């Protein structure tokens, strides 16, 4: 158990809709990173939040956006969903180090 | 961007056998991380390496940080059925918020 929780566990959305995924970081951790993992591949970095500010972004379009709250929990929002957005979305928390601890993920299916 | 190449892509071994897998990069990394992912779960951190040449163990797992800083190795001794899963190497990119770059993974299957 890493202490990182994510909700919901599974989600089915229709193309064009919007989705919000949530993550609670491990107690004491001030950094949350989000990753997208397509089937059969390694996770791909979306962005990172450190003390409520975006602290780095991967090669994802602006329709992927996020927030971090004062308690360091975080949200990932995806607008105008596309079929290729179907994936496992992982959040990872850390305390200003390289060691990132992952939650169980949210499985998003876009139909 | 930086890419990590893992080999082999998959392994099917007999319970009790030792396992070796590796991860290579065209760029230097200052940290190497090894994760294991079970089906439907998030990756779990196994070992972190911070220094070239470093050898670190976690139970039956041993990982090494390559001298060139462009590779890392993970060994599992006396494999058991619960070792089944996908093993990922990862390295942080310091110029992008310590974002982790992951390899494609090595799928390990253990035959009882």
pLDDT digits (tens, 9 = 90+) for B50-87: 999 999 999 999 999 999 999 999 999 999 999 999 99
User: Residue A77 contacts by C-beta under 8 Å, 6 or more apart in sequence?
Assistant: A18, A19, A20, A21, A64, A65, A66, A67
Residue A2, pLDDT score: 73
Distances (CA, A) of B9 to A86, B36, B104: 23, 14, 8
Residue in B43, B97, B104 closest to A56 by CB:
B97
Is residue A92 within 8 Å of A104, Cβ to Cβ? Answer: no
Report the pLDDT averaged over residues B30-42.
Answer: 93
Quick check: A102 pLDDT over 90? yes
Put simply, the answer to whether A105 touches B101 (Cβ < 8 Å) is no
Report the pLDDT averaged over residues B3-19.
Answer: 95
User: Which residues does chain B have within 8 Å of residue A31's beta carbon, measured at their own beta carbons?
Assistant: 98
Report the pLDDT averaged over residues B88-97.
Answer: 81
Counting every residue, how long is chain B? 112
Put simply, the answer to whether B42 touches A102 (Cβ < 8 Å) is yes
- Smallest CA–CA distance, residue B58 to chain A, in Å, is 15
Is residue A87 within 8 Å of A20, Cβ to Cβ? Answer: no
- Smallest CA–CA distance, residue B101 to chain A, in Å, is 7
Q: Give the mean pLDDT of chain A.
A: 94
Residue in A44, A94, A103 closest to B42 by CB:
A103
Put simply, the answer to whether A105 touches B41 (Cβ < 8 Å) is yes
Pair of tokens at residue B68: 């060139």
Report the b/e string of A31-53 with b at 16+ CB within 10 A: bbbbbbbeeeebbbbbbbbbeee
Residue in A41, A42, A105 closest to B42 by CB:
A105
Q: Which residue has the higher pLDDT, B3 or A102?
A: A102
Does residue A30 sit at the B interface (CB-CB below 8 Å)?
no
What DSSP line would sit under B19-53, residue for residue? EEEEEEESS--S-EEEEEE-TTS--EEEEEE-STT
pLDDT digits (tens, 9 = 90+) for A37-71: 999 899 999 999 998 999 889 999 999 999 999 99
Quick check: B97 pLDDT over 90? no
With CA atoms as reference, report the closest residue to B92 among B49, B38, B41, B31.
B31
């Amino acid at each position: 158990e890493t202490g990182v929780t994510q909700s919901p566990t599974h989600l089915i959305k229709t193309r064009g809709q919007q989705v919000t995924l949530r993550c609670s970081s491990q107690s004491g951790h001030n950094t949350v990173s989000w990753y997208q993992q397509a089937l059969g591949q390694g996770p791909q970095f979306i962005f990172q939040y450190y003390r409520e500010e975006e602290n780095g972004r991967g090669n994802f379009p602006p329709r992927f956006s996020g927030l971090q709250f004062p308690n360091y929990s975080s949200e990932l929002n995806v607008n105008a969903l596309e079929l290729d957005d179907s994936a496992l979305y992982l959040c990872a928390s850390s305390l200003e180090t390289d060691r990132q601890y992952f939650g169980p993920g949210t499985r998003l299916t876009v139909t | 961007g930086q890419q990590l190449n893992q080999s082999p892509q998959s392994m099917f071994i007999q319970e009790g056998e030792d396992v070796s897998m590796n991860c290579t990069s065209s760029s230097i990394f200052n940290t190497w991380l090894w994760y294991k992912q079970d089906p439907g779960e998030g990756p779990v951190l196994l070992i972190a390496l911070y220094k070239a040449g470093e050898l670190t163990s976690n139970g039956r797992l041993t990982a090494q940080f390559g001298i060139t800083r462009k590779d890392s190795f993970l060994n599992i001794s006396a494999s058991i059925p619960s070792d089944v899963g996908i093993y990922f190497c990862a390295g942080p990119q310091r110029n992008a918020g310590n974002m982790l770059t992951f390899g494609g993974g090595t799928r390990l299957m253990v035959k009882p």
